[in-house]
Structure 1
Amino acid sequence: MQWRGRRGSRNVEDRRGMGVTGAGGIGIVGVLLVLAVGYFLGIDISPIMGSMEQGSQTTEQRELTPEEQEVGQFMSVVLADTEEVWGKVLPEQAGVEYVSPQMVMFSGQAQTGCGGASSAMGPFYCPNDQKLYLDTAFFDTMQQRMGAGGDFAFAYVVAHEVGHHVQNLLGILGQTMQIRQQSSQADANYISVLTELQADCFAGIWARQANEQFGTIEDGDVEEAINAANAVGDDTLMQNAGQAVRPDKFTHGSSQDRMTWFKRGFTSGQLAQCNTFKEVGL
């Protein structure tokens, strides 16, 4: 992905220099809240992260490493690209003005408008404060434990969470949350899957439009994003955690479905082609 020397977003808050490692200090109630948030808004990687450390840890100021600084610059450029793309696509295709979200980068844990956040749950979007939250160490997890490395794979993760913000602006996210609260567990899981697959489709739209506007895609980039979609499928995460694959427990969609909907958005570039809810009449 060609990103160096390009505009970065001003909507970035970097808390990593204030962070701690692990989930210490959150406590069991905080951990449960974190997993509840990740359950329907983010990429819940807790099945492959093992047990989360608990107990009190002190927060210390620290200097960011050169690698962390570069990741921060990259995330800023990716977020700027989403601003450019959705600032054009959303008014043209939906008649809705795009309001950019903020991105918060943290280390270990963070306080959010949706409660406490831990790195164990992966990146997520909080509709209460319209911010994306991610511990950039997640990208090491993607590369080393999921086999889904590459800058465009990491960009896909951000684009997916921005997809949730687009859903929020369109009123979709609030509607699905309300339906989930009134549904059985199985139906709530299914609505969650449809929500996540639509965010994947929106990420595909971003990839197509970003390439058309900025020419950022290089050979192998789209394959990196598709591989990332495959790596965060519920069935793949369950298998990697040594668990039986239970489709009734899916909350984000199978690897195949996640790849399919990303490619559908990338191929069409159209919001109308991302209606995952059509078959259930929502």
Structure 2
Amino acid sequence: MSPRAFLVRGLLAGLLAGVVTFLVAYSVGEPQVGAAIALEEAGGDGHSHSHAAEGAGGAEGEEETAEVSRTNQSTWGLLTGTLAIGVALGGILGLVAAATLGRLGRLTPGQSTALVTLIGFVAVALVPFLKYPATPPAVGSGDTIGTRTAVYFAFQALSVVAAVVTTYAAVRLRGRFGTYLAVVGGVAAYLVVMVVAGELFTTVNEVGDFPADTLWFFRRASLITLATMWGVLGVALTGLVIRLYAAERAVAERKALAASL
């Protein structure tokens, strides 16, 4: 089972995940984005996420022109984004699954791939989302977007490093303390690190008087979309790896039988 085989299957799984995520994001997420944009425009803050800024001349009273229509943003633009993220994420996940094969105890390739996907979802998506949840277009100041982006990726990077280190420690301690205690200890160590980090990292609160129900529905839709991407990717990649493993075992058994005759 070569890294190339894992990579190809990761790309295929990512392609499928991108399509399914688009369907979920379009049906669940886009209505919430539209509601947030409507509130932003109604607030009269002078800009809209579906329009371009005024021309270089900046003439007063010049009407803004749409670079990309809202319809294209919510259809082809959204599809392009989910496909790109799905394929990239699938390729990375496939290579990580290949690199960890045989290094997570006595797990089969399918079980190992599923575990890698679960750890990836928690470390890359879920925990950073809990600290810095998604915000709709009408929330947040443009002056702080750089700072907000930096702290989010720093927290995400710390989460990934903590997950890798605690998983490695759990695997190393498995022989001494057993699987149960090693897993519980690894999970507990990760939680302690991230809870402390969550308290130390700066808090971003620029919601203002944005309606709480709209914010809740937007963030719920964002989490559903994230879970869909990772869920479909994990199920598809695990299934493909299981089929690959079964096929290679069948070939190996036939060769062994032929050699024994």
The structure with the greater share of residues assigned to strand is: 1
Task: Give 1 or 2: higher helix fraction.
Answer: 2
**Higher relative CO (CA 8 A, sep ≥ 6), structure 1 or 2?**
2
Structure 1 and Structure 2 fold alike (TM over 0.5): no
